Amino acid sequence: MTAPAGQVLHVQKVAGISGSEAHLLQLLPALRERGWDVEFLMLHEDEPGAWEFARELRARGVPLDDVRLRADVDPIAYAEVAALLARRRPRILHTHLVHADVYGQIAGAMARTPLRLSTKHGFNWFREGRFFGLADRAVASLAHVHIAISQGLARYLAEMEGFDESGFEIVHYGIAARNSVTPYAGSEPHLLCVGRLIPVKGHLVLLRALMQARTRVSDLVLDIAGSGPLEPALRAYARELGLGDAVRFLGFVSPVQTAIEQSAIIVVPSLGEGFGMVALEAMERGRPVIASAVGGLPELVADGETGLVVSPGDAEELAEAMVALAGDLSRAAVMGEAGRRRALESFTQERSTKAIEALYRRELDSASS
């Protein structure tokens, strides 16, 4: 079935390639392949990571414009966004994350863009501020369709900002199947944690749990992939806990699948997570996941089947889960196989793309009837 005529403009502020950006790098080319005239407007602060994303997206055949933000509230940038919408007159405007909502939805309403959608992608501490919630709901009221990347995120937004949880369409991220999986071949239990080194990712809890787990599984080792402002403190804390030889800081790793394949178990100890793309990448690579019960992670990881789900911030419970899997690598391997099946049955990129496409068609059909 051919896509309806008319341009689809996606908008997001980009600083580098993380969960939402990786999602767009898959979604936008897939929509174009299905006949949608998709373009992208990148809001940015001239970071190197933004231009890396721009190169990747253009290489996938998606046209891209950019607007530089000189401050969080930049009247010049707003005028540039409004002018672009007035020139292009897209039929569908789809914004992602806070900055794109503020600039795009306001400008889109002023330009009378026929269909406006907003996707909420992540957990953020600033959402707990009362006035932020009021402002976010006010801007969100300009969108016709609200999307959350997990039911857990929709619930969090309802609790923190006063959104109606039932008002969100839930569209999970998806992943493309890669080549066949190589089973973990190591003899010692090797853990991996992937994520920015920032407080919400739960690394301090992870290190405490590792110290406890090693009293029962003495050869347990951990790789931490990622960079961020907490790195010096985490290195010092690992030494303080006597984990100097048990923890390796890998820095930024690309492609992350290589690190996953070299590990027996993936740990996602986040204190807040909109979806949990690392967990899905681990499942696609046939690795079991130990994950916190936050955001979308319990929707991904089937507790006791494809991994173990633990209470966020609970070092003792996390240590117990580590011991349970690290002490029985054959059980861990079976869970990894089940995780791959689950990923390829329920969380494919094709499924995610079709869900977005179905929303576009539903709303366009409704508007024309």
Both tokens of 367, joined, read 């508007």
Of all residues in the chain, what percent are helix, strand and coil, respectively (each to 5)?
50, 20, 35
Residue 64 sits at the vertex; the CA angle it makes with 11 and 82, to the nearest 5 degrees, is 50
**How far is the C-alpha of 263 from the C-alpha of 260, rounded, in Å?**
5
How does pLDDT run across 92-145, given as a tens digit for each residue? 999 999 999 999 999 999 999 999 999 999 877 666 667 787 888 999 999 999
E-strand spans in the chain?
7-13, 37-44, 64-68, 92-96, 115-120, 145-148, 168-170, 190-194, 221-225, 247-251, 265-268, 289-292, 307-310
pLDDT computed for residue 127 by the predictor: 65
**How far is the C-alpha of 5 from the C-alpha of 364, rounded, in Å?**
11
Identity of the amino acid at 10:
H
Q: Are 272 and 295 in contact (CB under 8 A)?
A: yes
pTM for the full model?
Answer: 0.91
Residue 52 sits at the vertex; the CA angle it makes with 46 and 54, to the nearest 5 degrees, is 80
How does pLDDT run across 70-93, given as a tens digit for each residue? 988 899 999 999 999 999 999 999
pLDDT computed for residue 345 by the predictor: 95
SS3 at position 109 = helix
**Block means of pLDDT (10 residues each) for the chain, length 369 residues?**
77 92 96 97 96 97 97 93 96 96 96 97 73 87 97 94 95 91 90 95 98 97 96 97 95 89 97 94 97 96 98 98 97 97 96 97 87
The separation between CA 175 and the C-alpha centre of its own chain, rounded to angstroms, equals 12
SS3 at position 57 = helix
Residue appearing with tokens 């494919």: 348
pLDDT computed for residue 126 by the predictor: 64
Fold of 190-346: Rossmann fold (3.40.50)
Q: Where are the domains of the chain?
A: 7-174+348-368, 190-346
Task: Let me know if the fold of 7-174+348-368 is the same as that of 190-346.
Answer: yes
At the fourth CATH level, the homologous superfamily of domain 7-174+348-368 is Glycogen Phosphorylase B; (3.40.50.2000)
